[in-house]
């Protein structure tokens, strides 16, 4: 089952709350580069295209995005102009017609790669897709280890409201420390005018990849000679360290 395909139309409501922080972070890292109209940015696992839709309103360069979910891409195409190209693919099978300058892989998409060999293969695909000289890859992963140290609860609920629409998101966590797999069962209750109209259940398996593991696998990939920096969140001034954002550049 493709992750989050069933909840595509609620995606921006569920995850749009951090869009401002993400865009500010990306502009601080990539701003001068994106001013070049000949630059191409690829969003790997773009969902509804929130990131590149926002960046396309600010910069003159070209944008591409791919996702495994046709439902997500349908929304992305409806909300985008012709300067953004979308195609259906996964991290493990994507190919680009022309090499790109920047690759973004955000929203913990990378954590869905649960095997070492799949991680190395995807990093190799990123390397092959880059033009090379000015190539930059930004990978945003969840810092599950931080959550464990901070005593992350086994259950959590959040409510999201948009006019008459209310979405209640219930999550239960299960941790397999032998395989480094973080499983979460997610149940979304959809209310319209306070009437329950749908309930969506999904199970997700994610690799809780530590910094040390990522660097080891990076060194086994074709990106081994690139420089790699890491940030612990989109707001670098914050003490919250719930992300591991890798900035890999030539």
Residue 28's pLDDT band (cuts 50, 70, 90): very high
pLDDT tens for 17-26 read 889 999 999 9
Work out the mean pLDDT of the chain and round it to a whole number.
91
Is the model's pLDDT at 118 over the cut of 90? yes
Residue 152's pLDDT band (cuts 50, 70, 90): low
Q: Are 200 and 217 in contact (CB under 8 A)?
A: no
What is the distance between the alpha carbons of residues 227 and 241, in angstroms, rounded to a whole number? 22
pLDDT score at 167: 96
What percent of the chain has pLDDT above 90? 75
pTM for the model stands at 0.94
Cα 157-44-114 angle, rounded to 5 deg: 65
pLDDT score at 179: 85
Residue range 30-53: average pLDDT? 96
Residue 190's pLDDT band (cuts 50, 70, 90): very high
What is the distance between the alpha carbons of residues 44 and 104, in angstroms, rounded to a whole number? 6
Residue 151's pLDDT band (cuts 50, 70, 90): low
**Phi, psi of 120, rounded to the nearest 5 degrees:** -65, -40
Residue range 51-75: average pLDDT? 97
Is the model's pLDDT at 132 over the cut of 80? no
What percent of the chain has pLDDT above 70? 94
Is the model's pLDDT at 64 over the cut of 60? yes
All domains in the chain, ordered by first residue: 5-143+210-249 (3.40.50.150), 146-207 (2.20.25)
Residue 146's pLDDT band (cuts 50, 70, 90): low
């Amino acid at each position: 089952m493709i992750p989050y395909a069933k909840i595509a139309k609620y995606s921006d409501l569920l995850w749009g709350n951090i869009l401002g922080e993400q865009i500010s972070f990306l502009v601080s890292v990539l701003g001068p580069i994106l001013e070049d109209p000949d630059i191409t940015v690829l969003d790997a696992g773009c969902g509804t295209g929130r990131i590149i839709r926002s960046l396309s309103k600010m910069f003159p360069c070209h944008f591409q995005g791919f996702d495994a979910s046709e439902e997500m891409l349908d929304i992305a195409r409806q909300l985008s102009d012709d300067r953004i190209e979308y195609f259906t693919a996964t991290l493990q099978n994507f190919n680009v017609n022309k090499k790109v300058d920047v690759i973004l892989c955000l929203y913990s998409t990378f954590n869905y790669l649960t095997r070492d060999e799949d991680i190395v293969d995807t990093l190799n695909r990123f390397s092959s897709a880059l033009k090379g000289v000015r190539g930059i890859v930004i990978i945003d992963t969840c810092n599950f280890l931080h959550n464990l140290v901070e005593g992350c609860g086994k259950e959590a609920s959040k409510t999201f409201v948009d006019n008459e629409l209310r979405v209640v998101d219930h999550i239960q966590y299960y941790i397999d420390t032998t395989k480094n797999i973080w499983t979460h069962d997610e149940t979304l209750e959809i209310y319209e005018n306070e009437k329950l109209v749908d309930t969506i259940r999904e199970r997700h398996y994610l690799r809780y990849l530590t910094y040390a593991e990522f660097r080891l696998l990076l060194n086994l990939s074709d990106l081994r000679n690139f420089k790699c920096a890491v940030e612990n969140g989109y707001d670098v001034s914050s003490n919250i360290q719930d992300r591991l954002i890798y900035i890999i550049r030539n």
